């Protein structure tokens, strides 16, 4: 069983929503935006990472030397 949704601080979630241009969605559908951010965080845990932790998740064929 997968652990519960990752907890994203509200201020960070709002900043992410604003950066993505979702100001209106944040105001009108905050619960849905929070659910989407939690879903993304769960999926991100399963993406391969390259040698450098600063690099964003990348497809498996790119992560291998």
User: pTM of the entire structure?
Assistant: 0.62
Predicted confidence at residue 4, as pLDDT, reads 55
Domain spans, the chain: 10-63
Distance CA 4, CA 27 (A): 25
pLDDT digits (tens, 9 = 90+) for 3-57: 555 678 899 999 999 999 999 999 999 999 999 998 888 887 777 666 776 666 6
Residue 40 has a pLDDT of 86
- Judged against a pLDDT cut of 50, whether residue 1 lies above it is answered with no
DSSP assignment of 22-42: -HHHHHH-HHHHHHHHHHHHH
CB-CB neighbours of 17 under 10 Å: 21
Q: Cβ(23)–Cβ(15) under 8 Å?
A: no
């Amino acid at each position: 069983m997968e652990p519960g949704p990752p907890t994203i601080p509200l201020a960070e979630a709002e900043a992410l929503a604003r950066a993505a241009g979702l100001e209106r969605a944040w105001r009108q559908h905050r619960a849905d935006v929070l659910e989407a951010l939690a879903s993304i965080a769960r999926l991100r845990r399963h993406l391969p990472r390259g040698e450098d932790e600063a690099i964003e998740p990348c497809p498996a064929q790119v992560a291998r030397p």
